[in-house]
Structure 1
Amino acid sequence: MKTLFRVLAHVPLIILHALGAAVGWVSFVASPVYRRRFLENARQAGLVFSEVRGAIAESGKLIAEVPRLWFGRPVHVEWENEACVEEARGRGKGIVFLTPHLGSFEVAAQGYAQRYGQITVLYRPARKAWLRDLVDTSRARANLATVPTTLSGVRQMLKALKAGQAVGLLPDQVPPAGLGEWAPFFGRNAYTMTLSARLAQQTGACIVLIWAQRLSWGRGFRLHVRPWNEAISGDPAVAASQVNARMESLIRECPAQYLWGYARYKAPRSDGPVAKNDPSRTESAG
């Protein structure tokens, strides 16, 4: 698989995106379950099909661009409102970047690493052995570290923040049972991680919102940066609601690039050892 990915990494981004768009539509037409979830999630957000139609192709582009992002040369990245990042960095307390399943979340981390330096990103290890090996050994880039959703991974993120570095999370990803709170997301309760709030509270780090817009015709990506202009609540449920509200605001900026087929409202799974390593008990881990 790595060999195939390395070959595809040399294919121009415009071609990868064209192939991905086709894959996105085939998946939408061929899978009733995926199509139903896509449409139900969009309706839950109060959106009509014409507003999210583009997301069908974009979901395929998300997959097709992975070989280039993992094995190819750096992609073109533009910045919008990067002064927000400069201000957060100037405080010297570290940055917690929050990115929903919007646009190319891989590029959001890579763009920061290319321009500013070290960033540590949290990811959930794949269940299948062959895919886990591919993901675990292929995502690393200069100044970009990836850590798993384990107590060890959380400790590394705390260590990075205390050193004044940046970390990145996908807060609209459903966490394992015991590691989240039920909070409204587009008007419906969704199990929501509390880790992002805890990281900021325990280290004094700034929270910054960021997402990478996929530009047309393979021209690259544009990073959109937004400040977090409110105090994060010490109540985990309230904090989860705050995070969801801000994720909603980002998604509404460009609903045609959100991953509407993601099972956002599913019940959390029990991951055994991971669930036991509750980040709420990491005060002594730093």
Structure 2
Amino acid sequence: MPLVFRLFSLCPLWLLHGMGALLGWAAFLASPGYRARFLANARQAGYGFAEVRAGVAHAGRMAAELPRLWFGARLPYAWDDPGLIARAYEAGRGIVFLTPHIGCFEISPQAAAYDYGARHGPITILYRPARKAWLARVMAGARTRAGLQAVPTTLAGVRQMVRALRRGQAVGLLPDQVPPAGQGVWAPFFGRDAYTMTLAARLALQTGAAVLLAWVERLPRARGFVVHVRGLGAPLAGDTAQAAAQLNREMERIIRQCPQQYLWGYARYKAPRGDAPGEAA
């Protein structure tokens, strides 16, 4: 399987996006569970299928891009506000980049590593190791590169992130990823309680780091990507539960900017084992 990844990493982006679109629709049509979750999550956010149907193909494109992102030549991208990042680094308190499951979110830490790693140190990202041993090895090798350090979702990994922030470096998280039981709170997300991580808020509150919202828009006709960066709409709440709810609202704001590229099929409302009242989506 790693050989297959290497072969696909040589493909041009337009071909990967074409294959990915077909893959996305095949999964949508073949899996009743995935299709129902996609439609239910979009409906919860107030969207009809016609408004988000492009998300079916974009989900497949996201999967098809991975070999190129992990092993291939660098893909074209541009920052929409690099000055915001420069000012945050100059403050010297570190940066917590938060990126939801929208567009090509894998590019966000890579772009930060390429453009800021040499001067400001690596960006440390948190990732959940794959269950399959071969895929875990592939992911570990692909996500650790010059200017980019991947750490697992363990206490040791969190400690590495704290140390990085205290050195004035950056860390990256997916704040809409469902955390393990005991590591989150129930907070509204598009009007329905979702189990939400508190780690992002705790890192920022503990270290005084700046919080920047980053999401990567996939441009039409395989022309590349735009990395959008924004600050919070208001200072982060001092209480972690309130801060988690605040970050959910910020994620909603980002998703509404480009709902066609959000992963509506992601099981955002699932309950971690041993922690209810959430319902499995």
Scaled to the shorter chain, the TM-score interval is over 0.9
Q: Percent identity?
A: 59
Separation in 2, partners of 1:105, 1:147: 17
**2:279 paired residue number:** none
CA deviation string 1:140-183 (max 9, x = no partner): 22201111100010011011101100000000000000000000
Please report the TM-score for the alignment, with normalisation by the length of structure 2: 0.94
* Alpha carbons 1:207, 1:227 under 8 Å: kept: yes
CA deviation string 1:37-65 (max 9, x = no partner): 00000000001112111100000000000
Quote how far apart the aligned CAs of 1:136 are: 1.6
Equivalent position SS for 1:116: helix
Please report the TM-score for the alignment, with normalisation by the length of structure 1: 0.92
- Aligned pairs, number: 271
CA deviation string 1:88-109 (max 9, x = no partner): 1111110000000011111011
* Alpha carbons 1:103, 1:212 under 8 Å: kept: yes
Quote how far apart the aligned CAs of 1:231 are: 2.2
Separation in 2, partners of 1:18, 1:191: 34
Q: Does 1:120 align with 2:124?
A: yes
2:191 corresponds, among 176, 187, 192, to 187
- Segment drifting more, 208-217 vs 228-237: 228-237
Unaligned runs of 5+ in 1: 271-286
RMSD of aligned residue pairs (Cα, Å): 1.2
**1:8 paired residue number:** 8
Quote how far apart the aligned CAs of 1:257 are: 0.4
| Matched ranges for 1:20-99 at <5 A | 20-99=20-99
Equivalent position SS for 1:75: coil
* Alpha carbons 1:70, 1:140 under 8 Å: kept: no
Equivalent position SS for 1:209: strand
Quote how far apart the aligned CAs of 1:135 are: 1.3
Unaligned runs of 5+ in 2: 275-281
Equivalent position SS for 2:69: helix
- Segment drifting more, 199-208 vs 75-84: 75-84
Separation in 1, partners of 2:125, 2:273: 22
Q: Does 1:231 align with 2:249?
A: no
**1:154 paired residue number:** 158
**2:267 paired residue number:** 263
* Alpha carbons 1:55, 1:256 under 8 Å: kept: yes
The runs of at least 4 consecutive aligned structure 1 residues that moved more than 4 Å come to none
Quote how far apart the aligned CAs of 1:236 are: 2.0
